Amino acid sequence: MTLIGEKVVRALNQQLNRELYSAYLYLSMSAYFESLGLRGFANWMRVQWQEELMHAMKFLDYIADRGGRVELFAIEEPPKSWSSPLNAFEFGLDHEKKVSKFISDLVELSIAEKDHATFNMLQWFVKEQVEEERSFGEITGKLRLAQDDSKILLLIDGELAKRKFGGGE
């Protein structure tokens, strides 16, 4: 029994694909940072990859729980390198701002379709996007302050090495 409209299912499947792309993007960034010998940065992005996979699974599970048909689409190839760690984090921040816009569009669709269950589920993602933008913004700010100071970059690398995946965020 389908408890969710076709328009909403289609939009949620698109967002599922976007979350998988986000995971792929952050895994690519992790590999980029590994190539620079910045293992703390690589770790931070690997944890971000895990979070994005969890987000994708939340969409997949929700669609299935509401009786919708999950569809998996091809995942776009992400960039492989950036001009600097700052450039990578600026790219990530811009990406998270786009994701926030997509989530807002889904909220608007759920309102237009009078789909209160989807509206309610999406509130978790609205809150999560505030956190995502804040995290990327803080690190971007630190990297801007560091400029080309390798000592500060290594301090930030050590800080980012401490991040661990929480699993239920």
Tens-place pLDDT, residues 50-97: 999 999 999 999 999 999 999 999 999 999 999 999 999 999 999 999
Widest CA span of the chain, in angstroms?
Answer: 59
Is 80 within 8 Å of 32 (Cβ atoms)? yes
Among the listed residues 66, 43, 51, 61, the one whose alpha carbon sits nearest the alpha carbon of residue 20 = 51
Residue range 6-160 forms a domain whose CATH class is mainly alpha
Distance between CA atoms of 65 and 1, rounded to whole angstroms? 10
pLDDT 10s digits, 131-168: 999 999 999 999 999 988 999 999 999 999 999 998 65
- H-state helical runs in the chain: 6-35, 39-65, 85-112, 116-146, 150-160
How many whole angstroms separate alpha carbon 71 and alpha carbon 141?
38
Q: Indicate the pTM of the whole model.
A: 0.94
